[in-house]
Amino acid sequence: MYFVANWKMYGNLSSLNTLNKVIKFSKSKAINKGRLIYCPPNTLISPLSKKFSNCQIAIGAQNCHENESYGPFTGFVNCKMLKNIGAQFVIVGHSENRKKGENDKLINLKIKSALKAKLKVIFCIGETLVEKRKKKTKSILSNQIKIGLKKVKNKSKIFIAYEPVWAIGTGIIPSSNDLIKTVQFIKSKFKKKFPKILYGGSVNPKNIKNLKEIDNIDGFLIGGASQNANKFIDIVKKTYS
Ligand code: PEP
C-alpha cells in the first residue's frame, strides 16, 4: 500500500523535525510493505531529500509547470527542476488547482512532461458535489481520464488518485458501496494493466478502518491528517492491524 502525504501550502524548515518519528517508524516492522511518499511545498523538497537520505521515504512535488525545458515562466518550476532537487513523484490535477483554472488538456501536458523527466505521477481525478448530485460522476471521471492520459504510454508510472472534491477537507467520505463501484469503474477504463489507484479525501485514523477494506485500492492520498506525524503513522499502522 502507498501512503502519500500532501502537505499543501503548510510547513517550514522547523516542521521537518516532526518527521523524525516518521523516519523511525518507516524502519520498523509495523509498516509492513507500506510505501511512504511525502509531498511538501517546493521550498522543503531539497532539505527533505537530505533528511530522508538514509530511509526509504520518497518525495513528491505538489504540482509542476508543463514545459519540459527552462523558459520565461516567472514563479514556476518544471519537472526537470523538481527531479534535480530530489523529487521522485509529482501530484498533477489536484482539485485545488483545477479550481484555479487547470483544465484536462493542461494536465495532460503536465503528465507527459513529468514522465519525460522520469517522475512518477499522482494524477488526481474527482467529481464535485453538484456533479455527483446530477449523477455525472462516471462521465466526469471518464473525461478526466481520457483527456488527462491522452497519448500517455507508460501507465505503469501513473497513480490515479480518486479524490471526490466534496470529500477533500470536509470530514465526509464516500459510502463503501459508492467507493467500491467508482474504483471498479476507474479500473474498467484500462484494458490490460491499470495504474495503481489511490483514494483521497478526509482520510483519518478513524475512517481508515473502513477505507482499508475497499477492494482494489492501492493506497491513500492524505492531506490534513498528514500534517500531524502521529496521525499519519496511526493511519499506516491501522491499515495493517
Ligand atoms: C488532498 O488535498 O489531497 C486531501 C486528500 O486532503 P484531505 O485529506 O485534507 O481531505
- Rounded to the nearest angstrom, the distance between the alpha carbon of 77 and the centre of ligand 1 is 23
Ligand 1 site, residue 226, Cβ cutoff 6 A: no
pLDDT of residue 213: 96
pLDDT of residue 33: 86
pLDDT of residue 191: 83
pLDDT digits (tens, 9 = 90+) for 166-177: 999 999 999 999
pTM: 0.97
Q: Number of C-alpha atoms within 13 angstroms, CB side, residue 144?
A: 24
pLDDT digits (tens, 9 = 90+) for 7-49: 999 999 999 999 999 999 999 998 988 999 999 999 999 999 9
pLDDT of residue 192: 75
Q: Pocket of ligand 1, candidates 99, 163, 235: which has the most ligand atoms within 8 Å of its Cβ, to mutate?
A: 163
- Rounded to the nearest angstrom, the distance between the alpha carbon of 45 and the centre of ligand 1 is 19
Give the residue whose CA is nearest to atom 3 of ligand 1: 223
pLDDT digits (tens, 9 = 90+) for 188-241: 999 877 799 999 999 999 999 999 999 999 999 999 999 999 999 999 999 998
Tell me the pLDDT of the chain averaged across its residues: 97
Q: Which domains are seen in the chain, by residue range? A: 2-240 (3.20.20.70)
- Rounded to the nearest angstrom, the distance between the alpha carbon of 104 and the centre of ligand 1 is 20
DSSP code string of the chain: -EEEEE-TT---GGGGGGGHHHHHHHTSGGGTT-EEEEE--GGGHHHHHHHTTTS--EEEES---S-SS--S-TT---HHHHHHTT--EEEE--HHHHTTT--HHHHHHHHHHHHHTT-EEEEEE---HHHHHTT-HHHHHHHHHHHHTTT---GGGEEEEE--GGGTTTS----HHHHHHHHHHHHHT-SSSPPEEEEESS--TTTHHHHTTSTT--EEEESGGGGSHHHHHHHHHHHT-
Which residue is listed with cell 524502519?
A: 27
pLDDT digits (tens, 9 = 90+) for 229-240: 999 999 999 999
Q: Which of 65, 66, 94, 96 is catalytic?
A: 94
